[in-house]
Amino acid sequence: MSIEALELQLSEDMKSAMRAKDQLRLDAIRSIRAALTTEKTSAANHGSMSHDQAIGVIQRIKKQRVESLEIFRAQNREDLAVVEEAQLKVIQGYLPEALEGEALRHAVSELLSAQGFSSSSQFGQAMGFASKALAGRADGKAISAIVKEILG
């Protein structure tokens, strides 16, 4: 999906959330749009953004929601945790399907063997390659653990 298609999808989803009076969904979509606009208009981007950058922005928002959710649960604030969890589900809908568990292990293994990474001394290069190849589809910590396991 291109950045233009993503922005169009966000606009359409925002309109439908307004019509349905779904405030949680509307707030989540607005936060995505605001973050994308901020990133797009930053001095470094000069008014344009790649799809990978957009996915990175959405992942940042997702990570913030997950951290907030953990804090609210630790403080026994279920009222706030419920809101964060609902918005997190909306945000996850705009990210590519995540790889987890055995599917992630298989994907990392294939990537590393295709590039010829086989020793632990190549960890940094292997991590850079795997992280870039699986950007938006897997958590960096999970990728790191699997790369260490395969190379170690």
Euclidean distance between CA atoms 9 and 115, whole angstroms? 36
Is domain 101-151 given the CATH code 1.10.10 in the classification? yes
Domain range list for the chain? 3-92, 101-151
Is residue 89 predicted with pLDDT exceeding 70?
A: yes
Cβ neighbours of residue 4 closer than 8 Å, sequence gap 6 or more: none
Q: What is the mean pLDDT of residues 42-53?
A: 78
Instruction: Write out the CATH class of domain 3-92.
Output: mainly alpha
For residue 134, the model assigns a pLDDT of: 81
Say what the pTM is: 0.74
